[in-house]
Amino acid sequence: MKINYEQLYQFEDPINKAFRVGSIEEKDTKNSLHLLRGEFKPDSIIPFRYYMGNSKPSSIIWSGMFDVIIKKSVAEILKENGITGYRLYEVIVYGKAMEKYDNYYGLSITGRCNTKDYYRSKLVYLGSANVPYLKGVYFVNDYWDGSDFFVEEPDEKGNFTARIYVSQKVVSLFKKYKVQNIKFEKLSESTSMLRSIQIGKQYKLPPELRNMK
């Protein structure tokens, strides 16, 4: 499949003062990343409790871990419009005073793409300090299974991320229905600090960038 990176986006936490939750059960906290990536299926309803932020939940709730929780109305939008690459799991959300919000679902991502291809990203210098960044997200061999929600497969060393990607269709729907508490960044415009990649994934970089200051 030929990929148009201008029509793919990162699905991101806007990092604001919105209502946030944390898993109540320790076992759910440990499974948080695998649950997000669709690698773990809970066998019971997962309870989440208010953690910080505003007192009322938004259409999308982010947790202190990797969990993403969506309102029933958002889940219905996804289903009615044939959005692919995800499945839902049952949750109960408790507020600051332990009031119950039961019209939410947890979101697991089942769509997949290949790992990032840093050889194709462009080196740019940003800010007054001219800090080096890599601009543009591309996937090795342009592999993406075509799902509307997707995450990266583990790389050659078995490392994987919690980064969620979505299609233009998802972005258009969320904007049309004014879904709150979400940020989208076009992959062609996405930037990552070179230093952070050198620390965690130096082996993925072109040789000339692996030790660049």
**Secondary structure (3-state) at 72:** helix
Percent of the chain with pLDDT over 70: 100
Q: How confident is the model at residue 1 (pLDDT cuts 50, 70, 90)?
A: low
Q: What's the confidence (pLDDT) of residue 123?
A: 97
pLDDT of 171 higher than 90: yes
| Average pLDDT of the chain, as a whole number | 95
- Tokens at 203, concatenated: 């082996």
What would the mean pLDDT of 73-93 be, rounded to a whole number? Answer: 98
Residues 6+ apart with CB under 8 A from 203: 157, 210
Q: Angle 95-20-200 (CA atoms, 0-180°, nearest 5)?
A: 155
Rounded CA gap, 213 and 204, in Å?
17
Q: How confident is the model at residue 26 (pLDDT cuts 50, 70, 90)?
A: confident
- Is there a contact between 160 and 152 (Cβ–Cβ < 8 Å)? yes
pTM: 0.94
Range in 26-30, 78-82, 99-103, 187-191 with the lowest mean pLDDT: 26-30
What would the mean pLDDT of 54-70 be, rounded to a whole number? Answer: 95
Q: How confident is the model at residue 30 (pLDDT cuts 50, 70, 90)?
A: confident
- Indicate if the alpha-carbon torsion angle 114, 35, 85, 58 is positive or negative: negative
What would the mean pLDDT of 93-115 be, rounded to a whole number? Answer: 96
Question: Which is nearest to 99 in space by CA: 187, 11, 21, 171?
Answer: 21
Question: Which is nearest to 213 in space by CA: 193, 191, 195?
Answer: 195
Q: What's the pLDDT tens digit per position in 116-164?
A: 999 999 999 999 999 999 999 999 999 999 999 999 999 999 999 999 9
Q: What's the confidence (pLDDT) of residue 27?
A: 76
